[in-house]
Amino acid sequence: MYTVDKSRTTDRDLRERGEWWRDQVSSIHCLMSFELAPDYRGRLEHQRSDTYQLVRWWGDAENISRDHKQIRTDPRDVYELLIPVHGVLTLRQDGQTSHVTPTQMALTSLDRSLDLRHGDGFSSVAFIVPRERLDVRLPRLPQSGVTLNATRGLGSIVVDMIASLRENGASLAGGQFDAICDRIVDLLALTYNADTTAASVDVQEGLVVSIRRLVRENAHDPGLTGAVVAARLGWSLRNIQTQLQRVDTTPSDLIREERLALARLRLQDPAWFRQSVTQVAYASGFSDLSTFSNAYRRHFGERPSDTRSAARADA
């Protein structure tokens, strides 16, 4: 299910605005504590699928915190990319303080304690990504997160893609929204690697990117294996396995992940609605329907037919 919502405090009674804002922000991001005025003024634009969330917000000054008890009560298992548009965001996490300006973006975990504050007239974008979508693409983030450049190179492309995704959100279907978010995550991982790792590590990350690109482009091929990937890249299978081990995956797991992503995209695409779930599975590289259905359910938490039904409803 994909939704686009807009809301603002001025639609509420003056005495209820602060409490309403707390409820809205906590439901989108996670359980947190707030210090803000009872007559707080703010507004939200919220795009959401079953996988990703994109939020644009404007608001008065607020102090927000998340402690260990709240993390245990409401774990989210996501990363959040915060991109200030106007004003400065002060983020403190695991003893490290960052002052994030509109020339930067902060990538952090919502399952680490944090303190976040900003002044009046602040506005920002938040891109919320499931942890596993990033963990397989980059080395583990520092506990305090990381600040990335948002005005040059890959960072500026990430910002531009997110801005375009927000501006065109109402005209997208859920599958299209997720597909674009997947590409943004790829670019975000490349941005992280370019901004934070040594040159020798960058080379290794480039190899992983090459493996991922080849697998993604050929995921539909039922004959694709780790050995085939190695042969097409001119490397040994052992080298492929070693590179993927660095990002906690294997050739077979990566191939299955990309086939599942391809199948989900096709199940959500109106152009594929005339094809049965079985046909989609075979066209996406799977040779056994039962294997596909079980893997899909484990990975996405729903049956392929559920995804198809939701996509038809959206269309």
The reply to whether 155 falls in a domain is: no
pLDDT score for 1: 82
Four-point Cα dihedral 201, 203, 204, 207, nearest 10: 160
Check whether residue 108 and residue 17 sit in a common domain. yes
Phi–psi pair at 255, nearest 5 degrees: -60, -45
Check whether residue 112 and residue 244 sit in a common domain. no
Average pLDDT over residues 192-215: 66
Would strands 122-130 and 78-86 be described as parallel, antiparallel, or unpaired? antiparallel
**Integer Cα distance of 72 and 243 in angstroms:** 34
In CATH, what number is assigned to the domain containing residue 88?
2.60.120.10
pLDDT score for 156: 93
pLDDT score for 267: 94
CB 186 within 8 A of CB 134: no
The reply to whether 189 falls in a domain is: no
Helical axes 226-233 vs 251-267, angle rounded to 10°: 100
Tell me, rounded to whole angstroms, the distance of Cα 307 from its chain centroid. Answer: 19
CB 119 within 8 A of CB 88: yes
**Integer Cα distance of 228 and 120 in angstroms:** 56
Average pLDDT over residues 19-36: 91
Which carries the bigger pLDDT value, residue 198 or residue 153?
153
Average predicted confidence (pLDDT) for the chain: 88
pLDDT value at 5 more than 60: yes
Which of 117, 150, 183 is a domain's end point? Answer: 150
Give 298's contacts (C-beta < 8 A, 6+ positions apart): none
Domain of residue 278 covers 199-314
Of the pLDDT bands very low, low, confident and very high (cuts 50, 70, 90), residue 76 is confident
Check whether residue 107 and residue 240 sit in a common domain. no
The reply to whether 173 falls in a domain is: no
Going along the chain, which residue ranges are E strands? 3-8, 33-35, 42-48, 53-59, 62-66, 78-86, 89-93, 96-100, 104-109, 114-118, 122-130, 146-149
pLDDT score for 196: 62
The reply to whether 284 falls in a domain is: yes
Number of domains within the chain: 2
Check whether residue 206 and residue 140 sit in a common domain. no
pLDDT score for 203: 41
pLDDT score for 200: 38
Which of 123, 150, 177 is a domain's end point? Answer: 150
Q: Provide the CB-side half-sphere exposure for 107 (13 A, CA).
A: 25
Which carries the bigger pLDDT value, residue 235 or residue 166?
166
**Integer Cα distance of 162 and 159 in angstroms:** 5
In CATH, what number is assigned to the domain containing residue 217?
1.10.10.60
CA angle, residues 216, 219, 225, in degrees to nearest 5? 110
Phi–psi pair at 33, nearest 5 degrees: -105, 145
Check whether residue 35 and residue 109 sit in a common domain. yes
pLDDT value at 2 more than 70: yes
The reply to whether 105 falls in a domain is: yes
Helix, coil or strand: residue 296: helix
Check whether residue 144 and residue 212 sit in a common domain. no
For the record, the structure tokens of 314 come out as 């959206």
Of the pLDDT bands very low, low, confident and very high (cuts 50, 70, 90), residue 144 is low
The reply to whether 191 falls in a domain is: no
Check whether residue 107 and residue 25 sit in a common domain. yes
Check whether residue 7 and residue 136 sit in a common domain. yes
pTM confidence score: 0.67
Check whether residue 108 and residue 243 sit in a common domain. no
The pLDDT tens digits of the residues spanning 118-129 come to 999 999 999 999
pLDDT score for 140: 61
Of the pLDDT bands very low, low, confident and very high (cuts 50, 70, 90), residue 268 is very high
